Amino acid sequence: MRQPIERREFLKGSTAAAVGLALAPGRVLGANDRILAGFIGTGRQGQDNMKAFLKQQNVEVVAVCDVYEPNLKKGAAIAGERVLQLKDFRRLLDNKDINVAVISTPDHWHAYQTVAACQVGKDVYVEKPICVAVEEGRKMAQAARRYQRVVQVGTQQRSGVHFQKAVEVVRSGRLGKISVVRTWNYGNQSPEGIGNPPDSDPPPDLDWDLWLGPAPRVPFNPNRFGVYEGKYSHFRWFWDYAGGMMTDWGVHLLDIVQWAMEAEAPQVITASGGKFFLKDNRETPDTLQVTYEYPGGWVALYENRELNASPLNGKDYGILFHGTEATLFVDRRGYELVPEKRGRGAEAVDRTEPAAEKSSNPHLADHWKNFVECVRSRKKPASDIETGHRSTSTCLLGNIAYRSRRRIEWDGREEKIRNAPEARKYLTRDYRKPWKLQV
């Protein structure tokens, strides 16, 4: 097997030639053209994505890539015995047979790998949240447009039929004037949380330096890597790699909010919270409340708590649109419309007819169907990268308000913080050499 190529060689060699090809519009694939995919990151989410992809028509997994040998083997078992197994994603991107790159790596890798894939002429399916800094997301969107690539973000609820119906209800005016939209995630963990394992040598079957990539060089810690059987990786609780529940789950919820309300960005963001209860080594808060003020006179709220799972509206997570005429609740199981009442006591009267939709389609499978269709048609997918950037940015701004302890005034068009200069540093991130993000 060839040795891993260095980044400088990667850019000098075949990638440079491929960029020239990428500047031309993507070839429209016919129904009989086989889509060949390479999967970068074959942990739990990557495996789920692969299974959904393989249910599509006329597709094949050509290569799987993971820096952790056990996950690489699991991905290969799903893809089939002929699949190429790689540890360095640059080898996968160097493969000219591959049409599509699927990125299910930790969040801190999403931007670099997406931009690199676009530059070599590959369409991309990238997991949410798309990045850990606002500037990265903008560069991802720029790369998709510059190299004319189809880039789908893994916010699969946009392919949910009942979510689409709920958005139609909100936009129809049936709720009346909406002044507040509430989103939340509630849970109850033991005080030990994910524990406090000491730093140690990395496992022999893990390339820890390549896992870190552009993130700061730090000793291996089992929780920073965070791969445990039957769990989603704990990397999401460390600022170098992710943004906690605010970005991990908040992006699903606030994405639907902004879609339904036809909003691109908030204009004022405030946050409060902290790590008040959990005694583990995570860095992200266990308690968080974020308020977003939007143009047009309404606010959205995001709340996360890890010390009490008492539900809101009978649910441990979800979205509530509060209007003058009705309230709409939606989650992955369905939606419910509850009429508002006027007056008090015996004088209260219903103002709308109740409606409910409890059925739900397979969001992930349909999201992948949409992506594959768009790879062939060159149309924008359901969760286009620009939309994914806007939704992710909103969540990142919540974390910026929390970490800076400042009220953030946001210029959504220029993507700049108007006030609080001390908060602006969180809009970007430094890349560890030799990695550099450039479009």
Tokens 């992948």 correspond to what residue? 368
| Burial group, residue 395, by CB count within 10 angstroms (0-12, 13-18, 19+) | buried
Reported as a pLDDT band with limits 50, 70 and 90, residue 23 is: very low
Tokens 């004088």 correspond to what residue? 347
Q: What is the pLDDT of residue 230?
A: 83
Q: What is the pLDDT of residues 76-103, one digit of tens each?
A: 999 998 999 999 999 999 999 999 999 9
Strand partners, 437: none
Q: What is the pLDDT of residue 13?
A: 41
> Which pTM does this prediction carry?
0.92
Of the candidate CATH numbers 2.60.120.20, 2.40.50.100, 3.40.50.720, 3.40.1190.20, the domain formed by 7-158+367-384 belongs to 3.40.50.720
Domain boundaries, the chain: 7-158+367-384
Q: What is the pLDDT of residue 358?
A: 66
How large is the average pLDDT for residues 240-266?
98
Q: Please say if the pLDDT value at position 17 is more than 80.
A: no
Q: What is the pLDDT of residue 343?
A: 60
Q: What is the pLDDT of residue 400?
A: 98
